[in-house]
Amino acid sequence: MRFAFLVILALWAVACRPEILPARARPVTPATLERPLSPPVRALLASAREQTRTTTGYDPTYVRIGYPGGDVPAHTGVCTDVIIRAFRAAGVDLQVAVHEDMRRAFRAYPKRWGLTRPDPNIDHRRVPNLMVYFQRRGCALVPSQRAAEYLPGDVVTWDLGGGVPHIGLVMDEVAGDTGRPLIVHNIGAGARLEDVLFAWRVTGHYRYFP
């Protein structure tokens, strides 16, 4: 029932998000950035861009996956899978990282799903858990309304309304008409490259790779 509600709310958000604009993009030039992109960030961005071609669906159903390196089929997934797949391309398995951290500090993580112990099938695929993990790693930045403060490879979380969380990855392209960095995310129609940085209330801003 909870999954069905999330799917309905995600589809509603797609229809009602007022600030999403067509992705008429232009690349961020080296002069725009303080320094060249690091190899991990380049790997993140390449994976996210590839996901916009391969991940065409959305499915929040709970499934058992392998460990480590477990994943649902590449053509589908949820918003967190965009981040998980991109981080794996950069050499970081968030499935393992979140699971091991939850084993060490289970009480630090949300209990909204009624779990009594870590579950490597789903824990890393939940936005609030990723938020806690990034916070505990010291990756959290203060959310801002200044687009220039969001750099390629940053992770952003939002509240879609009613406390429903969402997550996406900041890319190295900006919208040609707004100057805002484009985001790769999956809100119900597969991984998309869109101008959604300020489409909803920003609840978290994280920079894992300096």
What's the domain range around 201? 2-64+72-93+138-206
Q: How far apart are CA 17 and CA 199, in angstroms?
A: 6
Model's pTM, two decimal places? Answer: 0.86
Helix (H) or strand (E) holding 7: helix 2-16
| Structural domains in the chain (count) | 1
User: For residue 115, is it within any domain?
Assistant: no
What mean pLDDT is reported for the chain? 88
Q: What is the pLDDT of residues 146-161, one digit of tens each?
A: 999 999 999 999 999 9
Tell me the backbone φ, ψ of residue 186, rounded to 5 degrees. -130, 105
Q: What is the pLDDT of residues 108-144, one digit of tens each?
A: 999 989 989 999 999 999 999 999 999 999 999 999 9
CATH number for 81: 3.90.1720
User: For residue 127, is it within any domain?
Assistant: no
| pLDDT score for 208 | 98
Q: What is the pLDDT of residues 62-91, one digit of tens each?
A: 999 999 999 999 999 999 999 999 999 999
Helices 127-136/94-104 angle, 10° precision: 70
User: For residue 130, is it within any domain?
Assistant: no
